[in-house]
Amino acid sequence: MSELLVYMNGEFVPESQAKVSVFDHGFLYGDGVFEGIRAYNGKVFKLYEHIDRLYDCARVIDLKIPLSKEEFAEAILETLRRNNLRDAYIRPIVTRGAGDLGLDPRKCPSPNVIIITKPWGKLYGDLYEKGLKAITVAIRRNAIDSLPPNIKSLNYLNNILAKIEANAKGGDEAIFLDHNGYISEGSGDNIFIVKNGTITTPPTLNNLKGITRQVVIELINELEIPFREANIGLFDLYSADEIFVTGTAAEIAPVTYIDGRTVGNGKPGKVTKMLMEKFRERTENEGVEIYR
Ligand code: PMP
């Protein structure tokens, strides 16, 4: 099979030749932004929401993306078409571009725009039936006044430290607390708990404004399940009836163990399963057509 093509600044380049300069500040300093998007069944799910977030994040780091949002959307669709993909994970990246060895972004005149697309299945394999083991980690989520977790930046070291810790402790996913001890999010997903029929998720000041999180909130409202956005502490987490995490890659994944404690009866809960089913229907039927 021939190699997949990667979009690089307007050109389509075979994966093995898709390279950036070692002087790119994305590489040197994690200076850049990215997205994770998915296509299901020939349609890109929440394409414009992901593009909006990418542009918002770029604006926060004062990075001008050299394409309009419409052009960016079309570049994503065209990359999928060139690779003949219908079900895929899509990774748009905008780096600061090549500069000198100093930090100053003003020395980087041309951002690099890259779009990688890959066939993709389930992130957590059979854990959608069994449930994940989650571990709260010692490393705290980046403070909102140092590196706001709302920025989906190329600097994911905070998340990687969490993942390393969860791996070492035998967890499938890491759950961050913030500096106040409030539950923030997973290393790559948002978190929800269910208690006595009410669903709670933390507000988005100390975590990524997840697009899946937003879809799940819409589903919760459609199903008329009591819902609130509120700070969650360890007590709420450990005493929850159900816990689940949400993300583009993770989708909706049940958590059945938290810090060695069984959640509910140790199986994915009723509410979680209902939301998983509704979410699957949405992703199968909704989205921007790739092959128009
Ligand atoms: N939090 C973090 C840290 C993430 O990396 C992700 C994945 N993008 C999420 C939450 C979930 O966001 P989304 O639902 O938009 O994929």
Is the separation of the CB atoms in 111 and 65 below 8 Å? yes
The residue whose CA is least distant from atom 12 of ligand 1 is: 210
The residue whose CA is least distant from atom 2 of ligand 1 is: 188
Place of tokens 């389509």: 12
- Tens-digit pLDDT profile for residues 187-208: 999 999 999 999 999 999 999 9
Q: Give 5 Cα–ligand 1 centroid separation in angstroms.
A: 25
Domain with CATH 3.20.10.10 in the chain: 126-285
Ligand 1 and 189: CB distance under 6 A: yes
| Average pLDDT across the chain, whole number | 97
Is the separation of the CB atoms in 222 and 247 below 8 Å? no
Tell me how far CA of residue 192 lies from CA of 29, 89, 109, 135, 262, in angstroms. 32, 24, 41, 15, 16
Fold that domain 5-119 belongs to in CATH = D-amino Acid Aminotransferase; Chain A, domain 1 (3.30.470)
166 is in an annotated binding site: no
Provide, rounded to the nearest whole percent, the portion of the chain with pLDDT above 70.
100
Ligand 1 and 250: CB distance under 6 A: no
The residue whose CA is least distant from atom 5 of ligand 1 is: 188
Fold that domain 126-285 belongs to in CATH = D-amino Acid Aminotransferase; Chain A, domain 2 (3.20.10)
* Residue 96 predicted with pLDDT over 70: yes
Ligand 1 and 159: CB distance under 6 A: yes
156 is in an annotated binding site: yes
Ligand 1 and 247: CB distance under 6 A: yes
Residue 46 pLDDT grade (very low, low, confident, very high; cuts 50, 70, 90): very high
Give the single-character DSSP code of 98.
Answer: B
What does the alpha-carbon distance between residue 12 and residue 14 come to, in Å, rounded to a whole number?
Answer: 7
Contacts of 258 (CB under 8 A, 6+ apart): 134, 135, 136, 175, 237, 238, 240, 243
Residue 249 pLDDT:
96
* Residue 125 predicted with pLDDT over 90: no
The residue whose CA is least distant from atom 3 of ligand 1 is: 188
Q: What is the ipTM of this complex?
A: 0.99
Mean pLDDT of 168-188: 98
Mean pLDDT of 204-232: 98
Q: Give 4 Cα–ligand 1 centroid separation in angstroms.
A: 25
Residues in the chain: 292
Ligand 1 atom nearest to 187, measured from its CA: 3
Query: Minimal CA–CA distance to 251: which of 202, 193, 194, 190?
Result: 190
Which amino acid, 69? K
* Residue 155 predicted with pLDDT over 70: yes
Element (H, E) at 71: helix 69-82
Mean pLDDT of 54-66: 98
Rounded to the nearest angstrom, the gap between the alpha carbon of residue 248 and the centroid of all alpha carbons in its chain is 5
Would you call 224 helix, strand, or coil by DSSP? coil
Task: Record the tokens describing residue 190, joined without a space.
Answer: 């948002």
Is the separation of the CB atoms in 193 and 156 below 8 Å? no
124 is in an annotated binding site: no
Give the single-character DSSP code of 106.
Answer: G
Ligand 1 atom nearest to 50, measured from its CA: 15
238 is in an annotated binding site: no
pTM beyond 0.95? yes
Residue 1 pLDDT:
62
Question: In the 3-class helix/strand/coil scheme, how is 108-167 assigned residue by residue?
Answer: CCCCEEEEEEEECCCCCCCHHHHCEEEEECCCCCCCCCCCCCCCCECCCHHHHHHHHHHH
Ligand 1 and 148: CB distance under 6 A: no
In the Cβ-directed half-sphere of 108, how many Cα atoms lie within 13 Å? 29
Q: Give 277 Cα–ligand 1 centroid separation in angstroms.
A: 20
Residue 124 pLDDT grade (very low, low, confident, very high; cuts 50, 70, 90): confident
What does the alpha-carbon distance between residue 43 and residue 45 come to, in Å, rounded to a whole number?
Answer: 6
State the catalytic residues.
152
Give the single-character DSSP code of 2.
Answer: P
Question: In the 3-class helix/strand/coil scheme, how is 6-42 assigned residue by residue?
Answer: EEECCEEEEHHHCCCCCCEHHHHHCCEEECCEEEECC
261 is in an annotated binding site: no
Domain with CATH 3.30.470.10 in the chain: 5-119
Is the separation of the CB atoms in 122 and 129 below 8 Å? no
Ligand 1 and 173: CB distance under 6 A: no
